[in-house]
Structure 1
Amino acid sequence: MSAYKKTDKAKSTIVVIGGGFGGLAVVNNLSSSIDPEKYSLILIDARPIHLSLPSTLRLIVSDADNLLEKTFHPYGEHTFRKKLAGNGTFVQASVTGIKFGDKAGKGGSVVLDNGETVEYDILVLATGSIWPRPILFPRESRNAIEEHVKARRQEFAKASDILLVGGGAVRYRSVFELAGELRDVFPSKPITIIHREKLLLNATYPDKYRTKLQRQLEGRGITVLTGDAITASEVSESNIPQAGFVTEQGKNLKPDLVVPTWGTRPNTSFLPSDLLTSSGYVKILPTFQLPVHPNVFALGDMIDWQEQKMAAKASYFHAPKVAQNILVYLNLSNGSSEYTGSTEGLIITNGKASGLGYVDVLWGIVIGGWLSAMIKSKTLMVSSISGLTGYTA
């Protein structure tokens, strides 16, 4: 028998899978509108704590700013606020499948890795992405996550020559931010980025921005090789050829630590293939509803939408519309809200004192190093995390 079987038939259950920026933002948006006498909410996440991804690259390089304490926010009663206070439940588990209702709009159940199921009337999918190994954190416990962090710090400290492979899609901007964090901690250690395309990032961003980003990195003594690559089969963190690598352009590289930064993919393996694109993204309507399941919503990195994937979009642009459309579906509000996209913009940190930003307004505004540092790089905006998670140490 399910440990989370509905016992109060008078209440409808909203289940949110994923406690990242998007999932928590949906919970917070619903917290002002949901009647606790009629609705309950269950949040499911594979980890016991919320990890703020923007801080993780600094976190895995050094213990600067005590980020372990500042950015590891456990889920709990504090997660559910306002009208959801005392009316929300957190479940730590990985989702292995969904049993959808046999009719459109009918409730179903979420299958967990412990064999239990969670029944839902409304389901929100916000499981994000699966990231490359440096920030592919364990799931079972906080201790396991802390051990992962310590191992990565030791790995970087031990290395004498570091090669970072990748640098195309904006999801992979971690390669640039990681390079900047490494340079802060290891001022003289050789660090190389190799990227197959002519310019860093991708064509969403103008050449002037992509070129400035490369120059800024090179200005800190980071070698950037564009229009070049090493054979994918050669890229292994655990099996580096003793003679090093010869790139496709004939350059000799002899790193003792190789960090692949590609391989980010949507975390959707628990969903049936007919709901996904060939690349694994969830097919949605502009209301964030699944076409054949109007009581199921999806947002964030996992959705099939032509835009750059970013946590801020899930939190500030997707989540409010998802919450509004849930209320419309429940006949608690009028007027569904369709998503038409959002302005492209980002800030790539370069250590604590620099960075480079871009906002696609007017002629395309580039945000310089000092202002980028003031906005993001210096603090990584960790003070704002509590507003999302409800946790205060």
Structure 2
Amino acid sequence: MSQKVVIVGAGPGGGSIVARTLSAKLPTAQITLINPLPYAISRPTLPRMTVSDGNNLIETALIPFDKLFTSPNGTFVQGVVESIRADKKGGLVVLTDGQQFAYDVLVLAPGSIWEGPLEFPTDAKAVPAFVDASRAKFKKAQKIVLVGGGAVGVEYAGEIKDIWPGKEVTIVHGDAGIMNSTYSASFRKGLEKGLGARGINLILNDYVDEIPAPGPTTVTTRRGHVIDADLVISARGPRPRTEFIAKSLGADSLDERNQIKVKPTLQLSEHPDIFAVGDAINTVEQKQVMKASAHAALVAGNIVAYLAGKSLKEYKGSSEIIVVTNGKNGGRAYFGILWGITLGDWFARLVKSKTLLVSLSRGSMGY
């Protein structure tokens, strides 16, 4: 009987890479990939996709699974997972529509729950209207407040200024500088300088506790700043999409931040036949597509070893590397090696700002 591997979640940096790799490495196994939407979303494109209609990203950055598997052993199933029934060895994944899929090995890559224009509907038919509505809100608004000054907030600000340089854009961020202390002061100051050069207002060490509905309003921050706005967008960090895991495997499968607790081999401690990758796991590092890709490569190799009864490798982490765009022609890069190397607009433009890595995402999925 062929071995069954079920993968829940299909981000192009996580679950999809595991599925594609195992399709080649385990040609006699049955590989099942489950995802709510019939495509993977290249998330670095979303600030541009949801702000401007002057691009083809809704056609190119929502990547179907028809070329993902390299062998006929792979199957894509569109659906939402309701629960996991884990036995001592193997188990079942149950979807909300009642379908059940047995597994010998399970991979959890559920990703995150975002807010605002980053949280796409799970109904594919609703996605085009969702994107159109987001673009319309940005087009109509004249005074825009972005709540959160991590990479998402910075990139939204840059995209808005590319299209409408005269609009008033304000970022409210809860730290003393843009981004967070993972990155060097020079990198963070460089980003702030680039934002300031475009007329983007920064309010640091402050918070907006409630996101109002679109329309003319005033936003009062926790420290008393009053900002006129007609569109307030949450660019805050996401929450792990792990509620179904806690219900199925117990609350002790998650940490205090609702992230999946994993061993260095990226297995769950109480379930050696369940692995996890991506944003939702509790590795101490920044949550990025690049990190998810590293998890996926390790887990794919470890699954092959696990099924063969061989020893598994441990995830050692990696240097912090990030490229943050400031529109199509600017941005800044950080490499957490040596003293912390920072590169400016020219490098960001070369590697990410113009293309948003779409061809790389598509290539990883067989396109």
TM over 0.5: yes
Matching residue of 2:364: 388
Q: CA shift at 1:145, angstroms?
A: 0.9
Taking the TM superposition and a 5 Å limit, the aligned residue runs for 1:352-391 are: 352-391=328-367
Q: Determine if contact 1:237/1:259 at 8 Å carries over to the other structure.
A: no
Letter paired with 1:35:
P
Secondary structure of the residue aligned to 1:385 is helix
Matching residue of 1:296: 274
- Identity between Structure 1 and Structure 2 (%): 41
Tell me, in whole angstroms, the C-alpha distance in 1 between the residues paired with 2:14 and 2:167.
37
Which residue, 61, 77, 80 being the options, matches 1:94? 80
Matching residue of 1:154: 136
Q: RMSD across aligned C-alpha pairs, in angstroms?
A: 1.5
Does residue 136 of the first structure (1) align with residue 114 of the second (2)?
no
Tell me, in whole angstroms, the C-alpha distance in 1 between the residues paired with 2:360 and 2:9.
19
Q: CA shift at 1:208, angstroms?
A: 1.5
Distance change in 2, residues 1:275/1:239 (3 Å): farther
Q: CA shift at 1:176, angstroms?
A: 0.5
Q: CA shift at 1:207, angstroms?
A: 1.4
Q: CA shift at 1:64, angstroms?
A: 2.7
Does residue 188 of the first structure (1) align with residue 166 of the second (2)?
yes
Q: CA shift at 1:135, angstroms?
A: 1.2
Q: Determine if contact 1:48/1:140 at 8 Å carries over to the other structure.
A: no
Tell me, in whole angstroms, the C-alpha distance in 2 between the residues paired with 1:206 and 1:145.
37
Q: CA shift at 1:312, angstroms?
A: 1.1
Matching residue of 1:203: 181
Matching residue of 1:28: 20
Q: Determine if contact 1:348/1:355 at 8 Å carries over to the other structure.
A: yes
Which residue, 322, 325, 329 being the options, matches 2:306? 329
Secondary structure of the residue aligned to 1:14 is strand
Report the count of equivalent residues: 362
- Deviation track 1:223-262 (CA, whole Å, cap 9, x = no partner) reads 11112334x14x3234764xx1344454331101111222
Taking the TM superposition and a 5 Å limit, the aligned residue runs for 1:1-393 are: 10-20=1-11, 21-36=13-28, 39-76=29-66, 78-81=67-70, 85-101=71-87, 103=88, 106-141=89-124, 143-167=125-149, 172-230=150-208, 232-233=209-210, 235-238=211-214, 241=217, 244-262=218-236, 264-272=238-246, 273-315=251-293, 317-331=294-308, 334-391=310-367
Tell me, in whole angstroms, the C-alpha distance in 2 between the residues paired with 1:99 and 1:357.
43
Tell me, in whole angstroms, the C-alpha distance in 2 between the residues paired with 1:372 and 1:93.
37
Tell me, in whole angstroms, the C-alpha distance in 1 between the residues paired with 2:14 and 2:272.
19
Secondary structure of the residue aligned to 1:69 is helix
Tell me, in whole angstroms, the C-alpha distance in 2 between the residues paired with 1:94 and 1:129.
14
Tell me, in whole angstroms, the C-alpha distance in 2 between the residues paired with 1:330 and 1:249.
55
Q: CA shift at 1:74, angstroms?
A: 1.7
Distance change in 2, residues 1:209/1:351 (3 Å): same
Q: CA shift at 1:80, angstroms?
A: 0.8
Tell me, in whole angstroms, the C-alpha distance in 1 between the residues paired with 2:226 and 2:318.
42
Secondary structure of the residue aligned to 1:44 is strand
Letter paired with 1:98:
I
Structure-1-length-normalised TM-score: 0.89
Secondary structure of the residue aligned to 2:172 is strand
Matching residue of 1:3: none
Secondary structure of the residue aligned to 1:301 is coil
Letter paired with 2:120:
F
Q: CA shift at 1:128, angstroms?
A: 1.1
Tell me, in whole angstroms, the C-alpha distance in 2 between the residues paired with 1:338 and 1:314.
15
Q: CA shift at 1:47, angstroms?
A: 0.7
Tell me, in whole angstroms, the C-alpha distance in 2 between the residues paired with 1:252 and 1:363.
39
Distance change in 2, residues 1:335/1:107 (3 Å): closer
Distance change in 2, residues 1:327/1:248 (3 Å): closer
Secondary structure of the residue aligned to 1:300 is coil
Q: Determine if contact 1:164/1:258 at 8 Å carries over to the other structure.
A: yes
Q: Determine if contact 1:48/1:139 at 8 Å carries over to the other structure.
A: no
